[in-house]
């Protein structure tokens, strides 16, 4: 009788393992902790984004070489996945093309530093690039369209330097990340104008000066299901030199003072289909970001050419990465 009971228990346990094992193995294979390990060799990243309010379409690509700094399993987690990298970078939209070189350094798991220097060419299409004699001028969507009717948008070339730092941490399934960028633009604008409308950051930007952006993400990560749900706060602050404010050499009250800073807040949702190993098409991810404008001269209502604050900026994208 004891032998029979023991046999029945073994059969039951085997059946249970057969029922549970496929989903467990699939989850481990899909999001294995070793899959995300940084490897030595070639790597790539690509993201494609479509956006409304303001309208935009961008593709960003990077291909380069990456090398691990530490490769010992006994190291504390803060020293894992540390690396340096050098890459060629390119960005393309219907309004401009940008290409150059980038370097990246991740000395700790919580810190990532990068810099890129790129040549940019605006095509003069879709009403861009719109340049101005003063940062106080009207850069609403309707004003840019009207400006294009009276004078052709100028094709313009130049250089862009981008410095970026990311600080991130994770406790359980909750992650926080802060991404800060400094972007320096130098364009060959008509009459050496000191300001232009930057379609990427949706702001009046200084020509020959810096624009600072900051994105703060609070994210819940469900690795087994492959999705992230979070909240993003974004801020943009152009740093105009005195000459950019016009003939009076000073920031004007009212309209000029309302140009900056620009802030947004809203939810971010993403889903990763699968992660593999040593594949140049890895971790395909779709994402949606919707942010309501908290402060913006032309996207919070209050004027004839202003867009209602109830309409958010919505971005939909697809991204993937790969390594050798």
Judge whether 288 and 315 are in contact, CB under 8 Å.
Answer: yes
Residue 16: its pLDDT value, please? 37
Where does the pLDDT of residue 21 fall: very low under 50, low under 70, confident under 90, or very high at 90 and above? very low
* Tens-digit pLDDT profile for residues 160-206: 999 999 999 999 999 999 999 999 999 998 888 888 999 999 999 99
Nearest to 175 by CA among 125, 232, 124, 120: 232
Instruction: Provide mean pLDDT across the span 250-274.
Output: 77
Q: Which of 49, 209, 189, 206 is nearest to 128 (CA)?
A: 189
pTM of model > 0.95: no
Query: Which is it for the CA torsion 49, 50, 51, 56, positive or negative?
Result: positive
pLDDT exceeds cutoff 90 at 149: no
State the Cα–Cα distance between residues 27 and 39, nearest whole angstrom: 22
Q: Are 245 and 255 in contact, with CB atoms under 8 Å apart? A: no
Q: Tell me how far apart the alpha carbons of residues 40 and 63 are, in angstroms, rounded to a whole number.
A: 13
Sheet holding 195-198, edge to edge: 131-132, 195-198, 203-206
Six-digit token pair at 120? 């940019």
Contact 81, 103 (CB under 8 A): no
234 band by pLDDT with thresholds 50, 70 and 90:
very high
Nearest in space to 296 (alpha carbons), one of 313, 282, 280: 313
Looking at the predicted structure, is the pLDDT value of residue 249 above 60? no
Report pLDDT for 14. Answer: 39
Per-residue pLDDT at 155: 84
Q: How many CA atoms lie within 13 A of 38 on its CB side?
A: 20
Beta partners for residue 101, in sequence order: 88, 117
Q: Token pair for residue 93?
A: 């939209």
Render pLDDT for 80-96 as a digit per residue (tens, 0 to 9): 789 999 999 999 999 99
Q: Tell me what the pLDDT averaged over the chain comes to.
A: 83
Nearest to 209 by CA among 235, 190, 234, 182: 182
Using the predicted structure, report yes or no on whether residue 29 has a pLDDT greater than 70.
no
Q: What is the model's pLDDT at position 36?
A: 56
Task: Show the DSSP H helices in the chain as ranges.
Answer: 2-30, 141-150, 255-258
Structure tokens at 122: 């605006």
pLDDT at 138: 86
């Amino acid at each position: 009788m004891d032998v029979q009971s023991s046999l029945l228990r073994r059969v039951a346990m085997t059946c249970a393992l057969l029922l549970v094992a496929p989903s467990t193995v699939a989850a481990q294979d899909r999001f294995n902790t070793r899959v995300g390990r940084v490897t030595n060799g070639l790597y790539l990243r690509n993201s494609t984004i479509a956006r409304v309010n303001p309208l935009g379409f961008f593709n960003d690509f990077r291909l380069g070489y990456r090398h691990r700094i530490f490769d010992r399993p006994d190291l504390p987690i803060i020293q894992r996945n540390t690396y340096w990298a050098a890459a060629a970078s390119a960005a393309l939209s219907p309004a401009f093309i940008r290409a150059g070189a980038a370097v990246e350094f991740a000395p700790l798991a919580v810190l990532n530093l990068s810099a890129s220097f790129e040549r940019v060419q605006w095509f003069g299409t879709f009403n861009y690039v719109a340049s101005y004699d003063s940062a106080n001028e009207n850069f609403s969507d309707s004003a840019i369209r009207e400006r294009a009717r009276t004078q052709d948008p100028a094709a313009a070339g130049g250089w862009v330097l981008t410095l970026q730092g990311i600080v991130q941490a994770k406790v359980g399934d909750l992650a926080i990340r802060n991404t800060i960028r400094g972007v320096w633009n130098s364009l060959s604008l008509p009459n050496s104008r000191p300001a232009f409308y930057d379609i990427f950051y949706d702001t009046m930007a200084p020509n020959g000066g810096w624009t600072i952006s900051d994105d703060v993400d609070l994210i819940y990560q469900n690795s087994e299901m492959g999705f992230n749900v979070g909240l993003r706060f974004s801020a943009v602050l152009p740093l105009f030199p005195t000459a950019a404010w016009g003939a009076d050499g000073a920031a004007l009250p009212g309209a000029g003072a309302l140009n900056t800073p620009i802030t947004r807040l809203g939810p971010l949702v993403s889903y990763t289909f699968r992660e593999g190993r040593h594949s140049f098409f890895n971790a395909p991810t779709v994402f949606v970001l919707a942010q309501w404008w908290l402060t913006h001269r032309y996207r919070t209502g209050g004027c004839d050419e202003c867009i209602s604050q109830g309409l958010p900026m919505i971005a939909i994208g697809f991204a993937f990465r790969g390594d050798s």
